[in-house]
Amino acid sequence: MQHAQHAHHVLLVDDEEAILYVFRKYLERAGFAVSTAAGAMEAIAIFDAGHVDVLVTDQRMPGMQGDALVQHLRAARPNLPAIIVTAYAAECRPDLRNVPVLNKPVPPADLVTAVQRALAA
């Protein structure tokens, strides 16, 4: 049974600790529950361990790029809402469906709005 006050769970992935900290604060202030991962393998473990409502990921990370992470998680959950936040938008695969790409630096309100839109879609 879900609580009426269920906070949507955001999985936030970035290899920069400072970005994770700042984005987490933005999203928590907006009422989201947030899990953070420093890379794709950690993100996959969090995703596999529990429910995730939306993925927010960096593009350029060691090991697995953000667009590949989106594809990997969508293989298990095809309708997973996802957002890529990057300074390297040109590197993102153009064939990803419904994945907005936000350019760093991202104003806090824009990040929160993008997550809300992804959940509403």
Model confidence pLDDT, tens digit, residues 3-52: 434 689 999 999 999 999 999 999 999 999 999 999 999 999 999 998 99
Domain that holds residue 62: 9-120
When divided into structural domains, the chain yields a total of 1
Burial 95-111 (b: 16+ CB within 10 A, else e): ebeebebbeeebeeeeb
Mapping DSSP to helix (H, G, I), strand (E, B) and coil, where does residue 11 land? strand
CATH of the domain at 62: 3.40.50.2300
pTM of the model: 0.93
